[in-house]
Amino acid sequence: EELLPRKLVDAKIGDILAIGGAGAYCSAMSTKNYNSFPECPEVMLRIDGSLSVIRKRQTLKQILANETEILF
């Protein structure tokens, strides 16, 4: 697998940028709850340089909420 050059339009301040996919770097492809691995928080960088949490870190209680007990 290799990265290929792409032709892009020059962006200007104020333009809206949409990223259609980020491979395994997006939350949908994360290791969320794989081997009880918690979902990480997501942060958005605002135009003014400030940061906003847009998804909170998952707690242990939230991870275990979907676990079930198997009785034999």
Whole-number Å distance between alpha carbons of 39 and 63: 8
pLDDT in tens, 12-59: 888 877 766 666 666 666 677 677 778 888 888 888 989 999 989 888
Whole-number Å distance between alpha carbons of 29 and 26: 6
- Given this model, what pLDDT does residue 22 score? 62
Q: Which residue has the higher pLDDT, 21 or 3?
A: 3
Which bin fits 31, alpha (ψ -120 to 50), beta or left (φ > 0)?
alpha
* Alpha-carbon distances, residue 28 vs 20, 36, 63 (angstroms): 13, 16, 16
Q: What are all long-range contacts of 47-55, with beta carbons under 8 Å and residues at least 24 apart?
A: 55/27
